[in-house]
């Protein structure tokens, strides 16, 4: 199944709130002919755009190929949350890798947020970084862990930007009876993801990158000089960077075994008054809860509630996304029961077995892949481009730290992995409800 087209029209952005008010990037014609460059980047999301930008700033000639439109995939459809650290918390990372490696991964996660914050300040990026993410405990039994975790991050890691919230403090911040406490991180934040992606594209073009939309890569021929082929072009490059995430398809069998696409869904309500907005969130923050299938939400700059979550067990989007997402939204916020939903859309992201990114080199070592950000892609995906550029320029320390993370293959191969994932998601969904 071609996930680039099964739910979307060729060459068209999804019917999202984000895509309703953009100016598309000019000079992105489909690639044609027999071409040469230093680096060919495959994928026009955060990772690919960041890779291309940082390489061009180092003096490399770069062509970026996007099968659909710039920011078409998860980069332009997600909840816009820019969170610290990895997708897995430090307790688990310490158990998995020991304290030294866990601390190195935490540092990279912090650098990821700063990377987004710094890039968003460019005049070419028409998206503001808004500070603040609350992590909300949907079960009272999770609250003691949140308290202990905040203390650990404050003392052991010296991270003073996170604070514990008891039930009353959480409900003053998030106007819902659904949550029992949690934490609040003032250094994390949220951003309009599609505007951020388009801003990266403008920055990349200004630095000299050639961007090509509607350029579906069909194969990569490995060798000291790699050859990337589309239906209309043949590009010879010293390096290739695969930045395809959930849309990798059959381009690389090894990545496909380790990074699985799943769908997630978001709605945008009509704009609310300032008074009604304050009855939902007391501050302009983003929120994510502790469910396995996470509910996440924030307000847009024009006061729309952007609420994401729910899962599906097919690669086809449900017929009525709005109805499917409205239920958890109104369960958490009954005060939004009568709010009109203006936009509803789905997207495909890439997850890994351990929810940590998959970094690897292929071929003669000159084909790099970074993907599987498992919901942490705004920050980690953007930083991954900077890290890839460093590695190609000979500074591979951060790439090596990330590539040394074990990345297990999904059981069952490409045929059985989706049914097995469905069983796992059903089990976790039942656990969330208990």
The predicted model gives 221-233 an average pLDDT of: 98
Enter the pTM of the model: 0.95
Crossing angle (nearest 10°) for helices 193-207 and 46-57: 30
Look at strands 210-212 and 162-165 and give their pairing.
unpaired
Predicted confidence at residue 330, as pLDDT, reads 98
Query: Where are the extended beta strands (E) located within 66-172?
Result: 81-82, 130-136, 162-165
**What is the pLDDT of the chain when averaged over all its residues?**
94
Collapse the DSSP code of 29 into the 3-class scheme (helix H, G, I; strand E, B; otherwise coil) and give the result. Answer: coil
Q: Return the closest-CA partner of residue 257 out of 248, 269, 267.
A: 248
The predicted model gives 31-51 an average pLDDT of: 98
Predicted confidence at residue 310, as pLDDT, reads 83
Predicted confidence at residue 411, as pLDDT, reads 80
Predicted confidence at residue 152, as pLDDT, reads 98
For residue range 277-296, what is the model confidence (pLDDT) as tens digits?
Answer: 999 999 999 999 999 889 99
For residue range 144-192, what is the model confidence (pLDDT) as tens digits?
Answer: 999 999 999 999 999 999 999 999 999 999 999 999 999 999 999 999 9
């Amino acid at each position: 199944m071609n996930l680039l087209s099964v739910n979307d029209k060729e060459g068209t952005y999804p019917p999202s709130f984000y895509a309703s008010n953009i100016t598309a990037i000019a000079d992105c014609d489909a690639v044609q002919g027999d071409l040469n460059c230093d680096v060919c980047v495959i994928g026009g999301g955060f990772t690919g755009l960041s890779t291309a930008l940082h390489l061009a700033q180092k003096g490399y000639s770069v062509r970026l190929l996007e099968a659909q439109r710039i920011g078409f995939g998860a980069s332009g459809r997600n909840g816009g949350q820019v969170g610290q650290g990895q997708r897995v918390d430090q307790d688990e990372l310490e158990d998995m890798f020991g304290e030294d490696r866990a601390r190195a991964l935490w540092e990279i996660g912090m650098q990821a947020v700063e990377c987004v914050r710094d890039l968003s300040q460019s005049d070419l990026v028409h998206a503001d970084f808004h500070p603040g993410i609350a992590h909300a405990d949907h079960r009272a039994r999770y609250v003691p862990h949140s308290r202990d975790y905040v203390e650990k991050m404050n003392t052991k890691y010296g991270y003073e930007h996170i604070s514990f919230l008891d039930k009353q403090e959480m409900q003053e911040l998030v106007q819902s009876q659904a949550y029992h406490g949690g934490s609040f991180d003032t250094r994390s934040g949220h951003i309009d993801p599609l505007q951020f992606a388009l801003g990266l594209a403008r920055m990349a073009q200004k630095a000299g990158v050639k961007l090509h939309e509607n350029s579906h890569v069909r194969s990569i021929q490995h060798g000291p000089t790699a050859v990337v082929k589309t239906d209309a072009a043949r590009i010879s490059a010293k390096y290739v960077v695969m930045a395809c995430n959930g849309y990798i398809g059959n381009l690389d069998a090894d990545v496909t075994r380790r990074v699985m696409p799943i769908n997630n869904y978001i709605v945008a309500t009509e704009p609310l008054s300032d008074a009604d907005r304050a009855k939902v969130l007391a501050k302009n923050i983003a929120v994510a809860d502790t469910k396995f299938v996470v509910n996440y939400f924030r307000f847009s700059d024009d006061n729309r509630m952007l609420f994401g979550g729910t899962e599906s067990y097919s690669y086809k989007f449900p017929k009525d996304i709005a109805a499917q997402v409205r239920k958890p939204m109104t369960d958490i916020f009954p005060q939004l029961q009568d709010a009109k939903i203006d936009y509803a859309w789905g997207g495909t992201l890439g997850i890994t077995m351990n929810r940590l990114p998959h970094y690897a080199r292929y071929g003669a070592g000159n084909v790099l892949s970074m993907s599987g950000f498992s919901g942490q892609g705004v920050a980690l995906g953007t930083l991954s481009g900077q890290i890839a550029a460093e590695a190609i320029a000979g500074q591979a320390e951060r790439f090596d730290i990330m590539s040394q993370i074990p990345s297990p293959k999904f059981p069952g191969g490409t045929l059985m992995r989706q049914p097995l994932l469905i069983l796992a998601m059903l089990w976790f969904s039942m656990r969330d409800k208990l």
